[in-house]
Structure formats: structure tokens, C-alpha cells
Chains A and B, each alone.
Chain A
């Protein structure tokens, strides 16, 4: 069982559209994991049925038990996040500002502050129309994605893949280069970098590739909307060559991406000129992975 992680560094390059297309092209062979939890949108394309739902806890929140509070204000003085407010003569923590560091609890003379585990949302196992399953999550308002949540989603996907004897896990990775991305990459078999020919697209591609290199992972690049700026496309190709990144595909700008989204479908399911390109790319990725062994 192989894990294909799709990342982009920059947002808006078409990462999720590509990931969801691979999920459809791979069909029954693929378990899908949506680890782009901050702004999850794969569910719009794959319409999961939320068959199994579990609460997810990550981080902590300080709670001040009012009955023992002597209103000394020490907690408010030491809180560097400004998370403790006086409301109607009561000291109360603001869940959106509290980082759960525990400093207030440490200085409280009556030990009336406790940290509770924070419920930051739910994770789900769903059936999707490809005849397979998808693992995904939804964060509560103001909650943060974390390496822990990504690890949870990926571990569940892996368990399912093993149990159901699936060949591939397609992971829609997290954006940026932080903790969730490190967690997305950990345990991966192959990385697909989806980029676009803009200055920030190339900049963020280089940045995220630094991370991929730390894990010594094999990677391939898809340049989406390549014809929008041929000179940056050439720069991306030069960079890929220098770093020995597999050239997977150059996809022209095409309205079929948007048209598919409007119909709540992937580009791999509507009639357009991008579809055969993606089919070829998916076959290509499978060959590259099987070569590695």
C-alpha cells in the first residue's frame, strides 16, 4: 500500500481539484484523506456521506471555576495572550484567545484554574461515489489545524486501506510549510507538487520542496495553468530539473476546472480536454511509485 501526498506550498494552484481527480481515477483502489483541514473543500467535489463521526480533541483551554475564585487578578496579569477578561466582575477566559499554556493555573493562589482538553471539531469516515472511502475532518470556528489532527486522519486512512486491501492512499496535503505539512509528509511514499507559473507559486514551491528534501522523498511536479506565464513555467522546469523532481504534467489553463466545480464534480468526470492529461498523469505516478520498489 502506497501513500501519495499532494501538496502545493501556495494555495489556489489546483491541488484539491487534482487530488479529487486522482481519487476518482483511482476509484476502488484508493482511500482518500483530506488533510487540508483548515480550509477543507474536497467534500464539495466528492460529496461524502459522513457515515462515521468522532469528536476530535487537540490543545487545551483554561477554565476558571468561579466558586473558588478570589478575584486577585494574577491570572489576568500573567496571560500574554490577553485571554482573560473581567465580565460582570468575574474573571473569564476567552476560548478563542487562550493558548492553553497553563501559566494562569500555575500562578493561581487558590488553584481554581484547570486546563481542559479542547474539542476542536470532528473527523469522519465517509463513503464516496468512487466506491471507496474518504477520511476527512471539520474544524470548529477559530480552531487550528495541527500535526496531531493530520496524523489522526492519515492513520485512520491507513488502517482502512490495510483492512480493505487498497493499493493507494491519496492525501490532499496541508498548505504552507508548518507542522501540519510535516505531519502530512511523514510516512509518505511519493509527493506530488502542484504549482502554477506565478512568482509566489514558484517561491512557495521552492520553500515546500526544502521540506520534502528533509524527508528524502521522491517527488514529481504538475505545473497547472502553465500557459498563463511561459517564462515562469520555464523557471519551474529548470528548478525541477536541477532538483531531479519528476516532470509529471503541464496542464493548460482551462475553464473546465471551474465548470466541474459548479457541477460538484471533478475534472476527471466531465467531458473536457484536461481529463486525458490527468489520466496519463495518474498512470505515470503509479508507474513511478512501482519503479521505486
Chain B
């Protein structure tokens, strides 16, 4: 399973970036291979407008199974991501990546569902 965190840094003890569209990095953990990789999102965060959908596209290209973030994506990005089958977990905005991973493993993070 490929788990992606919106991240402010490149280490397990870096904080989760509570923003989705303008997150600094994606911290990508493949728990089957026990491998960590990093994707830089600086180009999307430089967009004046429409950073969310652009970041969603990038996430789609990463072929992730799970996204862990702060409040969750905005409406435009959520519309894109809802088509992909990606599972989005929120509420990790104050945590480090390590803590967010543990919380996710213990079913402590709520699943993102846009209220109608």
C-alpha cells in the first residue's frame, strides 16, 4: 500500500503540512517495500490560482492508495480525487508524519467525506 502525506519536510519527524493544494512536499511511504520517497510540490504552490487541482493531478500520477493530510482538499481538488478511489484521511494537521502514520494504523484518523 502506498501512503502519501502532505508534508513540510522530508523526514519521519517532519510536521504534516495541514494544507493540501499548497503543501511543500509529498512524503510517500510504501509499507510493503518499507520504502520512503519524496515528491516536491513547490511548482504547484507557486500557482496564483488553482493549486488544488494541480496537486490532485500530481497525487494521481503518484498512484497512491491513501492520502493523509490536515483539513482535506478543497472542492475542486476533492472532485478530481473522488474519481480516483484514493482514500483520504484528515485531522493530522498538528502531527509529525510518524505520529500521523501511527494514528492512521490505529484507526484514529477520520476518513475525509465532504458533507453534502
Please give the residue numbers on chain A whose beta carbons come within 8 Å of chain B beta carbons, in ascending order: 58-59, 144, 146-149, 151, 179, 182-183, 185-188, 211, 213-217
Contacts and interface: CB of A to CB of B under 8 A. Distances in A.
Interface of B: 18-22, 45-52, 70-72, 74-75, 78, 90, 93, 110, 112-115
Contact of A214 (B19, B22, B93, B115): B115
A216 B115 contact: yes
A282 B49 CA distance: 33
B71 A179 contact: no
A3 B25 CA distance: 21
- Tell me if B's interface is mostly helix, strand, loop or mixed: loop
A147 B115 CA distance: 23
A120 to B, nearest CB: 9
Contact of B112 (A144, A151, A213, A216): A216
Contacts, number: 69
Contact of A148 (B45, B72, B75, B93): B45
Contacts of A148: 22, 45-49, 51
A186 B22 contact: yes
Given A186-B18, A186-B71, A187-B19, A214 B49 contact: no
A82 B78 CA distance: 34
B102 to A, nearest CB: 17
Contacts of B115: 213-214, 216
B48 A214 contact: no
B72 A215 contact: yes
A58 B46 CA distance: 8
Contacts of B47: 147-148
A217 B114 CA distance: 11
27 contacts: A59-B48, A147-B22, A147-B49, A148-B46, A148-B47, A151-B19, A151-B22, A151-B45, A151-B51, A182-B74, A183-B21, A183-B22, A185-B74, A186-B18, A186-B21, A186-B70, A186-B71, A186-B74, A213-B114, A214-B74, A214-B75, A214-B78, A215-B71, A215-B74, A216-B90, A216-B114, A217-B71
